[in-house]
Amino acid sequence: MQRSGNAGPAVNSRPVIVNDRWCKGCDICVVFCPKKVLERPEGGKAQVVRGEDCTRCGICEMMCPDFAITLVPAGDKMESRFGRLGGNADA
């Protein structure tokens, strides 16, 4: 079950947050994610499409040259905090 907003245990549905303002659409995170959690539409920004498969390995966060990805610690409610950054964080 996925929820949006600040209420409830929605953290596992969005294990990483992509900041659209910083993402330049280079595809590095998409290529390096071992679980194919991320995708990028043509001309768009990286998006979480299989959040349930994320192992929180941190590779995407480490590889992004623009620091546009933030790994959300398991059990943390950072999703609501990072929502203010815009992009697909609060899509």
The residue ranges that bind ligand SF4 (CB under 6 A) are 15-16, 18, 23-29, 33-35, 37-38, 40, 46, 54-60, 64, 66, 68-69, 71
How many CA within 13 A on the CB side of residue 48? 29
**17 secondary structure, DSSP code:** E
Is the Cβ of residue 6 or residue 55 nearer to ligand SF4 in the bound state?
55
Beta bridge partners of 48: 38
- Shortest gap between Cβ of 59 and ligand SF4 (angstroms)? 4
Is the Cβ of residue 7 or residue 27 nearer to ligand SF4 in the bound state?
27
- Shortest gap between Cβ of 15 and ligand SF4 (angstroms)? 6
Is the Cβ of residue 5 or residue 65 nearer to ligand SF4 in the bound state?
65
Contacts of 89 (CB under 8 A, 6+ apart): 14, 17, 18, 19, 20, 79, 82, 83
